Amino acid sequence: MDTTKTKIFFCKIRSIGSRSYQRLTSSALTLLGNKILLPLLLMAILLLGGCKTVPIQDRYVAEKGGFWEQDENTGSRFHHNAIADDETIGLMYASGKSALLNGAQVKNSSKIKNNAFVNTGPQSGARVAFKASDSACLIRIDELNIGKAYADTSDCQQSIKTIHAMIEAKSAIFHINVSQHQTEIMVISGVVQVVLRENTMQSIDVKAEQEIIVTHDAIGRPHRISQDEIWQRIRWRDDFRLYKTVVDWNKVIAGVVVVAVIAAAILMPRAVSRSGVSRHHHGWR
């Protein structure tokens, strides 16, 4: 079972709101009017209350599908070739008030579908964690016309298009900085192929701890970059805190135990009463 889907489905129910719970409780009590319903409703509320939002602690760990993080004032469109156009390709985690998915604000996280467009305004950032695919997957990232991005391809291949270059990468980690006049590609691990958009016959492989600059009409020569420089370039990621929704199973289990005790306390007198009535009838006969 996909645990990520389970958690999302489980916790999304909570978004119905407290007023819906009140209406449900009131209607159910009116219709059924029995004591068994109360512990069941308490259990449901406790289970839903077990959802909580926590920070993503290790942002450098990638699942098989890989991930993409973008800085403020950056836009990107995503397409996953191994997944249908109307299907979910991953999860978007948002930071700040101007992290938008297809023009709509995302507060903490949201599913993202094929061909979705993610853009971030001032003091906002976003992370897209791609869904792993059983088949060989190619993730296309287009419309990256300005801004910064950090990518970990993991087992998938990423094909990124900026206004100056086309970037092909697999099993690589790299950083991109796009301005009006140039695209800077800094490779942290693995090998990345860079192609000039104006002339696809011009291409070069950029290795780990190398950086290259591409303009509209030329590809520069790769040059070495130190670890300190790498960390300085990607420090913008520390400005954003990203959150995910998880289930606090300890809280859920504790709630279930409490509800079970309540249910037992309610049902036991009923069972004893029925047993007494049964003995009484048996003696009368």
Contact 78, 128 (CB under 8 A): yes
Based on the fold, state whether residues 213 and 270 are members of the same structural domain: no
Q: DSSP assignment, residue 156?
A: S
Residue 204: Cβ within 10 Å count: 16
pLDDT at res. 283: 54
Residues 6+ apart with CB under 8 A from 156: 64, 65, 66, 130, 132, 133, 137, 138, 139, 170
pLDDT above 90 (res 103):
yes
Q: Is residue 61 part of a domain?
A: no
Based on the fold, state whether residues 254 and 237 are members of the same structural domain: no
Lowest mean pLDDT among 46-60, 233-247, 271-285: 271-285
Structural domains of the chain, count: 2
**What residues make up the domain containing 37?**
3-50+248-284
CA–CA gap between residue 128 and residue 90 (Å, rounded): 7
CA–CA gap between residue 146 and residue 116 (Å, rounded): 17
- Percent helix, strand, coil in the chain, to 5, is 30, 40, 30
Q: Is residue 83 part of a domain?
A: yes
Tell me the two tokens of residue 19. Answer: 């007023």
Based on the fold, state whether residues 142 and 107 are members of the same structural domain: yes
Based on the fold, state whether residues 19 and 133 are members of the same structural domain: no
Contact 116, 77 (CB under 8 A): yes
Based on the fold, state whether residues 105 and 28 are members of the same structural domain: no
Residues 108-151 have pLDDT tens digits of 999 999 999 999 999 999 999 999 877 678 999 999 999 999 99
